Structures are given as structure tokens and as C-alpha cells.
Amino acid sequence: MEFRVGFGYDVHQLKEGIPFWLGGIKIEHTKGSLGHSDGDALIHAICDALLGAANLGDIGLHFPDTDPTLKGIDSKLLLKKCVELIKKEGYGIGNIDTTICLQKPKVKELIPKMRESLAEVMGIDQSQVSIKATTTEKLGFVGKEKGLAAYAVVLIKKI
């Protein structure tokens, strides 16, 4: 059985007065994640990890921010498409491990909902999706609440 590993990373600016989507769910907060799509940095990191593992490029190649049809798109649709792309190459998801770097809001209590949402979109069991959250102890752009970062590692396997 062939296994492959992929890594994804995404950063988005936080801005007042826009919706905040993270891990496929809408979070109540005064700031939201700025992006061409809905700005869901966690999903974008997972997409990059999946595409990278299957040697299919990155999210910008498949869903460029210059495409007006993608303006404001629900990132769950992008994730679903990435899963279809790796399946077309003969791969299935083994597991996904992610980390969200965010000073505020605290998202620990929301992680089960995120896992449920992401697993449903990808057609996998929640036990295959790990989400962790951390702050940067008020250091850097994350600590100053100017943005957030998300990291993802995936294991895919030939099916």
C-alpha cells in the first residue's frame, strides 16, 4: 500500500465587521478572516496538504484568487473538490492533523463542531480529523490579533 504525506499552511488577516469562518463553521467574533473566498484558513491549509500529498500543486493553482466566480465561495466546496481530485488519482485520506494559531477568540470549545463539519465534507470519520489550537503568547501578528495561521499535515493512501 502506498502512503504519501502532505503539509499545508495558510495565513489570513483578521478584519473588523466581516464573518469569521474557521474549520467549516461560522464563529461569532468582532473580526473575520479576510480572503477572496470565505477566508477559512484551516480549510485552505487542509486543501494545500491534500493537494501536495498527491503532487497536484496547491490551492492557488486550482482556485486562483483572480477568478471572480470564486469570490466569497464557501471553502467547504473547495475542500470537497480537493478530496475529489485526490480520489481521481486513486488516493483516500488516512488522517489529518491540524493546528490553528489564533490569539482570540478561544476556539477550544468549538473544535468538536469543526471536526464534525470537516469530516462530513470529506466523507471520512471524525476520528481521522485532529484539530488543535494555540496562541502565540501575544507575539507577532497572531498575538497582536491582526491575523491567524493554520497548519495541516495529511496522510493519504492508495485505495
Can you list the alpha helix ranges (DSSP code H) found in 70-145?
A: 75-88, 111-122, 140-143
Answer yes or no: is 30 a known binding residue: no
Answer yes or no: is 65 a known binding residue: yes
Answer yes or no: is 144 a known binding residue: yes
Answer yes or no: is 124 a known binding residue: no
Answer yes or no: is 3 a known binding residue: no
Residue 98, classed as helix, strand or coil, is: strand
Q: Say if residue 143 is exposed, middle or buried (CB neighbours under 10 Å; 0-12, 13-18, 19+).
A: middle
Answer yes or no: is 136 a known binding residue: yes
Answer yes or no: is 98 a known binding residue: no
Answer yes or no: is 60 a known binding residue: yes
The answer to whether residues 6 and 49 touch, using CB atoms and an 8 Å cutoff, is yes
Answer yes or no: is 125 a known binding residue: no
**Separation of alpha carbons 146 and 141, rounded Å:** 5
Answer yes or no: is 69 a known binding residue: no
Answer yes or no: is 59 a known binding residue: yes
The answer to whether residues 135 and 31 touch, using CB atoms and an 8 Å cutoff, is no
Answer yes or no: is 36 a known binding residue: yes
Answer yes or no: is 108 a known binding residue: no
Answer yes or no: is 64 a known binding residue: yes
**Separation of alpha carbons 143 and 159, rounded Å:** 42
Answer yes or no: is 135 a known binding residue: yes
Answer yes or no: is 58 a known binding residue: yes
Q: At how many degrees (to 10) do helices 75-88 and 111-122 cross? A: 40
Answer yes or no: is 19 a known binding residue: no
> Binding site: residue ranges?
10-12, 36-37, 44, 58-60, 63-67, 134-137, 141, 144
> Binding site for a divalent metal cation: residue ranges?
10, 12, 44
